[in-house]
Structure 1
Amino acid sequence: MAASTRAVQALEALGVTFTLHAYDYDSGADRIGLQAAEALGVEPQRLLKTLMAEVDGRPVCAVVPSDREVSMKKLAAAFGGKTARMMRPPDAERLTGYHVGGISPFGQKKRIPVAIELSALGQSSVFVNGGRRGLQIELDPHDAAKAMGAVAQGLTA
């Protein structure tokens, strides 16, 4: 599969072992992460969604299982802040260089702090967006966290 995205290039540059998986992206899906998990036949807790947010006005990235909701209180605490809110999609796209539905925590235009849901580290492998709609990267969750430079925290409600 020819899939050279910035996310793929970033992982290759780090020497991370991964597998690419393509699927039919459904732009009309209510929950894109769950749609991707179903399309790939993967348990939703193994398919991680990338959420762009702001903690006390500073951009952050949260990577959580697709079947869970991030707790704004826990997200703020993970970054030593008081308040958190989701970033507006146009702001997320401008900051990351990716389109919503294809935002990857790897290879973003600007490096920002990342937190990964602690429970994801217990999976044998996880799937993370590959930098474009319809592309997922499967890799070891510890390799993913290291490549993201992520802190592992309980982020979900």
Structure 2
Amino acid sequence: MSQIHVTTKINGDTTEYLCDPEETLLDVLRDRLALTGAKEGCGTGDCGACSVTVDGRLVCSCLTLGAEADGCEIDTIEGMADGEKLHPLQQKFLEHAALQCGICTPGILVAAKSLLEKNPSPTEEEARYWLAGNLCRCTGYDKIIRAVMDAAEEMRRAS
């Protein structure tokens, strides 16, 4: 079986890799590119732990083929912070203790960032609906929603 050559932009950097035709984007990110923030929680697109954005669209990387990324722009949790400065969502997750074991946190942060890029002023109901595809067994969702809403307010004030 021949491998597929892919050229893509990941977190702003042009990246090239070879992948097998059946290899998922999650496997490429973790195993070939050492971007291990996205986690495999279920492998069926039900938990959101592997969430990334592809051309601005939130996707489960466990359901996306690595070859599909050719010519696309991908954003992962590794690209969220600005150097040493945390993204406001990351900072608010720390302040609100909205994370524990870390399996779901990267996917939730990527999903929340996607939400705030599309809707900088979500209601709590909209935030809960948007993040419904991300499952967390440790923190409960209240702290997560509080962190997202607080970050949204801070980001609006800063812009």
TM-score (norm 2): 0.28
Larger Rg: 2
Q: Report which of the two has the higher share of helix.
A: 2
Select the structure with the greater relative contact order (CA < 8 A; seq sep ≥ 6): 1
TM-score (norm 1): 0.29
